[in-house]
Amino acid sequence: MKRLRQYAWLVGLLLVSVLLVGCETGHKFVKKTAFKDTDKMVLVFAGPVDESWASNVGNFSAYEEPDPDIVLTIKETILSPDKTQVTLIFADPVNTGEAHIVSATNILSEGRDLGAAVLTVKKLYIGVLMTIFIGAALINNFVFTKYLGLCVFFGTSQKRGTAVGMGVVFTIVMVFAAVMAWGLYQFVLKPYQLTFLNVVVFIGLVSLSVQGVDTILRKVNPMLFKAFGVYLVLVIANCIAIAVPLILADNEYSGWESFALALGAGLGFLIALFLMACVRERLELAQVPPSFRGLPIAFVTAGLFALAFLGFSGLSIY
Amino acid sequence: MKEMVKITFALTLSCVIAASAMGLTFTVTAKAKKHNHHMSVQNAMMDLLSFGEDHPVPSDLAFHNVYRYIVEDGDKKFLGYMVPVEKAGKEVYEMVMVDLEGKFVEKLEVPISEGQAEEAHDRASALEKVLPPNQFFTYADASAIATAGGQRLGYVLPGKFPGFRTFIHVLVALDPQFELLGLEIMEHEEDAGLGAEIEQEYFKNQFKGKSFETLKGLEVVKKPMPQEYKKYLEKSKWVEGMFTEKQISEIRKQYKDSDIHAITAATISSKAVTDGVKNIAKKFAYRIGKLDGVLQEQDIHAAF
Amino acid sequence: MSTTTKSNTQLFMDGILKENPIFKLALSMCPAVGISTSVMNGILLGTAVLFVQVFSSCTISLIRNYIHPKIRIPTYTLTIATWVTVIDLVLAAYVPAAYKAMGMFVRLIVAFAIITMRLEMFACKEPLGKAFWDALGMGLGFMFAMIVLGAVRELLGSGMLLGYDVLGFKPLLFFVLPSAGFFVVGLMMAFFNWIEVAYNRKKGV
């Protein structure tokens, strides 16, 4: 229990640091920048700014980061009553998926000139990571939406204990393998134009991760190993294990994004396994027609789950 | 110990053999892959410009590729256009640098042939030789300008934007007045039967013929499509005598400036494509206007 | 040197019917559910799996006496991965449109348990001839299952077969949607079970 709390603290610290880094704006007087609605941006300052400066639209200019030559038209600006927030209203809807660069000429605050500012306005990185994470776990659930990892899925979903064991082991191996795959892809395969070796390298990494987790678990926690060790071998036969590195290579994800993807994939697999196990335990006691017993009815159940998970497809939190 | 050595040796040997087998296949197939990709893009471009049986290809049809780069010098940014230029009867590439407002900065000759210029890798090495070492360049996009008989026939622009699932890659064709000649969906990962319907004629062909002004304010409406309009759009399913000439021109006039009818149960994909096409056309029109101004002012004889 | 007593033709037919990888052995179900939306997909993926299975089996069978027992599994994995990369590159280069329809599934062949299992159980002990026929049977069995599934889903979902409009209307779009893959495979498995039970009953077993 104490160890768990220590781990939770560490994870919390990590998240907070990512959040802080993501909040960096580029000028010490500007505290925060954010998108608002579909056509506004909000700049939050550390102190009050002069109304004469804030109401002049000409003091601000904005463009999308990849298109520095196309300047967006700002219709008007609104200053908040406490004079610390300026809202820029644009003539056309703003593409919030793209990072925007906003330049403000010399900021006038209480008569003092605080210099020009070049600010980046983009969605919080942690939001991007959460989208990938929830995407991999629910919206694009690897079992119910992408139909991967089915052999292992049907093989280990008969009892709840087995299911949870498989899910946990898989998540751990997946995270290790994905981060290593990202590293190898970015620093070895891509620069030397060896991307055709993707498949071989990734499956090798998965095997290596399995071996590594096996060894570590044996030494660190033999009891855990006795409970979960047998599932380690099955990870290699799991399509998801090779799909995740392939996806992060194809989409050119960054390190944190790969981590989020792997974690989401593992968690999604765990959720799928657990749900399936709950149902299958009940099915054991039901009166299933002889031809359907075993796998066929399990498939039909999975089909129903897949339909249910379709409901997640419009989910968008950020 | 001897076991370990034997195992390591066997494993290394197998890895080396495997790697060479794959490397060999890669080199052999890479050429075929590039050729196929090139051909599919060419075919799509010809389709978009409406060349076919009843509209023969002019003998002097040529596509000129203009590559846009963003060049950073310290904290200043410039746009660099790699433009094919006619010099003493030959076509060479020149890098025309303009600042963010569209004013000319300088031009440099780039030692690269037209065929080589199609390879991102070759372009990058040629540019590295020509630009000073303190300038960093990143590739932005490419546009193809079709000419025949000394006149511009149209522009074919590849583009990519996020769809409902992942990115959608398209090819947009505009005529010299930026009226939309056609839209082709090259790659997508949308759901079959739902978002994937953007590939169907009854969605794609709605964009054909929209003027630039309509394009700039194009929206998506969730109204059911009139049967007659749908039949008109599905050109490949036309039978003899289905529409008279008068009916065709009437339908065309009626829907010329209308908004895009969304695909049932795929509004997000429909909106993504509409907004994507809108942005591609708007940005290109702005940039080619500035580029043409600079080329004329500096008396650069572009191949188009 | 061979440990099996089955003839070549028997091995071949077993792979297609009695030990069909998808319907009987219930292995490699990922593509069966995900990609069996049309007959064309079935043919293409079936060809890819056949290629990988046959070549891997033959390779392993040829070098079976030189494989160090401790590195059996890595050797199998390496062989399979190599052949998967080869077929992946070839398909991407020569049939790009069809290859795109299959998405990631060609590269995922490397994780198919059926191939590794076949190598472990059969190819590493049998001479080239027998290994070849077994692999051919398995691969064709897979392709057969995929085509049947694809035909059912394509016909019922979009009224077409191989791209040709057979019915002229779309009976139930649901069948082309991915989730239907589970239902169709489940129902087909039950169907095969039922046939087997009826056949055995007739034979008096």
Would C2 be classed as within a structural domain?
A: no
* Closest B-chain CA to C34: B192
Same domain? A65 vs A174:
no
Same domain? A103 vs A169:
no
What residues contact A6, with CB distance under 8 A and at least 6 apart? none
Residue A71 Cα, gap to closest chain B Cα (Å): 9
Q: Can you tell me the distance from the alpha carbon of B285 to that of A116, in angstroms, rounded to the nearest whole number?
A: 31
Would B300 be classed as within a structural domain?
A: no
Q: Which of B76, B166, B216 to mutate to test the interface with A (most CBs of A within 10 A)?
A: B166
Q: Is the pLDDT of residue B297 over 80?
A: yes
C-beta atoms of C94 and B32 within 8 A: yes
CATH number, domain containing residue A111: 2.60.40.1220
| Domain termination site, one of A62, A87, A122 | A122
Beta bridge partner(s), residue B145: B64, B155
Same domain? B176 vs B282:
yes
Residue B297 CA from chain centroid, whole number: 27
Which of these, A26, A100, A89, A99, lies nearest to A63 by C-alpha position? A100
Which of these, C14, C113, C192, C35, lies nearest to A294 by C-alpha position? C192
Q: Which of C23, C30, C119, C175 to mutate to test the interface with A (most CBs of A within 10 A)?
A: C30
| Domain termination site, one of A80, A98, A122 | A122
Q: Which of C178, C186, C197 sits opposite A147 (nearest CB)?
A: C178
ipTM of the complex in this document: 0.81
Total count of domains within chain C: 1
How many residues are recorded in chain C? 205
A230 by Cβ neighbours in 10 Å (0-12 / 13-18 / 19+) ranks as middle
Same domain? A155 vs A291:
yes
What's the confidence (pLDDT) of residue B273?
93
Q: Is residue A297 within a helix (H) or strand (E), and if so which, with residue range?
A: helix A295-310
Would B35 be classed as within a structural domain?
A: yes
Q: Which residues of B touch A95 (CB under 8 A)?
A: 279
Same domain? A95 vs A194:
no
Same domain? A64 vs A130:
no
pLDDT in tens, chain C (205 residues): 556 666 777 777 776 766 776 666 666 777 777 777 778 888 888 888 899 989 988 888 888 888 777 778 888 888 888 999 999 888 888 888 778 777 778 888 888 877 777 777 777 788 888 888 888 888 888 888 888 888 888 888 777 777 677 776 777 777 777 778 888 888 888 888 888 888 888 887 5
Would B218 be classed as within a structural domain?
A: yes
- A141 part of contact set with chain C, CB < 8 Å: no
Q: Can you tell me the distance from the alpha carbon of A159 to that of A278, in angstroms, rounded to the nearest whole number?
A: 7
C-beta atoms of B100 and A97 within 8 A: no
Residue C73 Cα, gap to closest chain A Cα (Å): 10
pLDDT band at A1 (very low <50, low <70, confident <90, very high): low
Can you list the pairs that A140-144 forms with residues at least 24 positions away whose Cβ atoms lie under 8 Å?
Answer: A141/A268, A141/A271, A141/A272, A141/A309, A141/A312, A142/A240, A142/A243, A142/A265, A142/A268, A142/A269, A142/A272, A143/A240, A143/A268, A143/A269, A143/A272, A143/A273, A143/A302, A144/A272, A144/A302, A144/A305, A144/A306, A144/A308, A144/A309, A144/C179
Write out pLDDT tens, residues A74-92. 888 888 888 888 888 988 8
Would B216 be classed as within a structural domain?
A: yes
**Residue range B3-26: average pLDDT?**
85
Q: Which residues of A touch C88 (CB under 8 A)?
A: 199
- B32 part of contact set with chain C, CB < 8 Å: yes
Same domain? B201 vs B238:
yes
Q: Is the pLDDT of residue A127 over 90?
A: no
Residue C13 Cα, gap to closest chain B Cα (Å): 32
Same domain? A262 vs A208:
yes
Would C132 be classed as within a structural domain?
A: yes
What's the confidence (pLDDT) of residue C5?
63
Would C3 be classed as within a structural domain?
A: no
Size of interface A-B (CB pairs under 8 A): 30
Residue C116 Cα, gap to closest chain A Cα (Å): 9
Q: Can you tell me the distance from the alpha carbon of C126 to that of C124, in angstroms, rounded to the nearest whole number?
A: 6
| Domain termination site, one of A122, A138, A171 | A122
Would B160 be classed as within a structural domain?
A: no
Would B302 be classed as within a structural domain?
A: no
Would B166 be classed as within a structural domain?
A: no
Same domain? A79 vs A148:
no
C49: domain range? 8-203
Same domain? B120 vs B220:
no
Q: Which residues of C touch A289 (CB under 8 A)?
A: 190
> Measured at the alpha carbon of residue A114, what is the angle toward residues A25 and A19, in degrees to the nearest 5?
15
Q: Which residues of B touch A196 (CB under 8 A)?
A: 22-23, 25-26
What's the confidence (pLDDT) of residue A216?
84
* Closest B-chain CA to C67: B10
Q: Is the pLDDT of residue B226 over 60?
A: yes
Residue B220 Cα, gap to closest chain C Cα (Å): 24
How many CB atoms sit inside 10 A of residue A83's CB?
16
Q: Can you tell me the distance from the alpha carbon of A168 to that of A29, in angstroms, rounded to the nearest whole number?
A: 46
Same domain? A180 vs A303:
yes
A295: domain range? 126-314
Same domain? B125 vs B223:
no
Same domain? B132 vs B196:
no
Would B1 be classed as within a structural domain?
A: yes
B205: domain range? 172-287
DSSP summary character for residue A286: S
- A191 part of contact set with chain B, CB < 8 Å: no
Total count of domains within chain A: 2
